[in-house]
Amino acid sequence: MKRLTLVSVISLCSAPAFAVGDGFDMGPLRVMPSVGLSIGHDSNVALTADNEIDSIVTRLSPGVRFQGGDERSRFTGTATMDAGWYDSSSQDDYVDYGLQGEWLYSPVVRHAFTLDAGWRRGHDSRGTAAREGNLALLPLDPDEYDLTNFGGKYRFGAPGARGRLELEAKATQVNYNNNRQYTRFRDRDDALVGAAFYWRIAPKTSALVRIDQIDANYEDATLDNTEQHQYVGLEFDATAKTSGTIMVGRVDKDFDSLDREDFSGTSWRAGVAFKPRTYSVIELSTGRETDETNGFGDFILREDIALGWSHQWSERWSTQFDVGSADEEHRGLGLYPDFQGRSDDTRFYGVSGQYQFSPWLRFGAGFKSYDRNSDIPELNYQRESLLFSLEASL
């Protein structure tokens, strides 16, 4: 279960969802094309404290999904694009696109292998990442990057077995393509290795132990570091009324440079879904983790919590509501020798709904509100966005 964080909520607000229908057969593959068109209003495009830019926003998001194989060997691939146009701020126009593929191989019941790889040409919107505060008002296009990733997972243990072991490895590379005076310090390679052991202690509950390590290597900044996590927790079966994972443990972040600030402390990750009815789901997610710096400080210590409710009122009509907060501490000197520290407190809420006109056509509308308070005044902002969308899929 993917934990709902502030970053993922903002992403959900930024583009129409990738809808998938039943599709059609093309040789050995099942092909499922879709397209989304949306129009809305953004009250603060660049996320600034003053001189706010509001604009009508139009977005187009075509995509196609491929599936093939059988239960023993299955392949899934997607190709997506997301293009946006701002009536009052053409500087923020963008076109993002990407490819992703996954192969699942399960030769026998006790063994399962997964390989995945992807590439994305994306962007950081003004007011985020390396262009926060007054930097967002510079006459520059949004920062563009290429992100590539590949990895694999191995599972030992049959479904329903008392114990199972999972191993994971993943490599990710991020390279920025423009505005290099601000983005060259963000190019980096990440390498993750992890292992988790699950032991069933009840019919629908397993205890778990997880250990993972991430090595972050920067191309042009002295921010290379190794981050380790050690967790214990519980996993609830996805077929039960309550499902999800709760993990509590420790995070250690150690920098190669002696000029950087190491960190050790309590960490947790949790994402739990409760289904009082088959047509109604309440989701709670929370976490305390470290994150890579965006220039302010050596790293970010983030605590967040989000609550969401999804309800299917009828076969055609559904709604969602979410609310949450994120507290971020930017620790250390980062890229600025005179940096004295930074703390942000962000609150958000949103409501949306969808109406299914037919199996292949869906209408949606959503509203989201954000409010960030920072001890650096120029980083405060308020933002409201309203979006209407139409999604079609075969």
For 372-385, how does the pLDDT look when each residue is reduced to its tens digit (9 = 90+)?
999 999 999 999 99
Q: Which of 278, 284, 374, 286 is nearest to 318 (CA)?
A: 278
For residue 20, what pLDDT is reported? 54
Q: 64 near 76, Cβ under 8 Å?
A: no
Taking residues 33-47, report their average pLDDT. Answer: 97
Distance of CA 364 to the CA centre of its chain: 21
With cut-offs at 50, 70 and 90, classify the pLDDT of residue 11. very low
What pLDDT, in 10s, does the model give residues 45-78? 999 999 999 999 999 999 999 999 998 999 999 9
- Backbone φ and ψ for 4, nearest 5 degrees, come out as -80, 110
Q: 137 near 46, Cβ under 8 Å?
A: yes
For residue 19, what pLDDT is reported? 52
CA count, 13 A, side-chain hemisphere, 102: 9
Q: 20 near 32, Cβ under 8 Å?
A: yes
Q: Which of 357, 386, 384 is nearest to 19 (CA)?
A: 357
Inter-CA distances, 62 with 24, 79, 82, 215, 360, Å: 17, 9, 7, 35, 14
Task: Pull the structure tokens for residue 251.
Answer: 């995070």
Taking residues 132-160, report their average pLDDT. Answer: 93
What pLDDT, in 10s, does the model give residues 197-229? 999 999 899 999 999 999 999 999 999 999 999
Q: Which residues partner with 267 through β-bridges?
A: 249
Taking residues 22-49, report their average pLDDT. Answer: 94
Measured in residues, the chain has a length of 394
For residue 336, what pLDDT is reported? 63
Taking residues 10-38, report their average pLDDT. Answer: 74
What pLDDT, in 10s, does the model give residues 297-322? 899 999 999 999 999 999 999 999 99
For residue 211, what pLDDT is reported? 98
Of the candidate CATH numbers 2.40.160, 1.10.10, 3.40.720, 2.30.29, the domain formed by 6-155+224-393 belongs to: 2.40.160
For residue 159, what pLDDT is reported? 77
- DSSP 8-class letter at 141: P
Q: 169 near 151, Cβ under 8 Å?
A: yes
- DSSP 8-class letter at 184: G
What pLDDT, in 10s, does the model give residues 326-363? 999 999 876 666 667 799 999 999 999 999 999 999 99
Average pLDDT of the chain is: 92
Q: Which of 120, 118, 122 is nearest to 143 (CA)?
A: 122
Measured CA to CA, the distance from residue 384 to residue 42 in angstroms comes to 6
For residue 14, what pLDDT is reported? 44
In this structure, the number of other CB atoms found within 10 A of the CB of residue 198 comes to 21
Residue 8 has pLDDT above 50, yes or no: no
For residue 282, what pLDDT is reported? 97
Share of the chain above pLDDT 90, in %: 83
For residue 311, what pLDDT is reported? 98
* Residue 197: its H or E element: strand 188-202
With 0-12 / 13-18 / 19 or more C-beta atoms within 10 angstroms meaning exposed / middle / buried, residue 186 is buried
Measured CA to CA, the distance from residue 171 to residue 187 in angstroms comes to 14
For residue 22, what pLDDT is reported? 81
Number of helices (H), then strands (E), belonging to the chain: the values are 2, 19
* Residue 305: its H or E element: strand 299-312
Residue 238 has pLDDT above 80, yes or no: no
For residue 1, what pLDDT is reported? 42
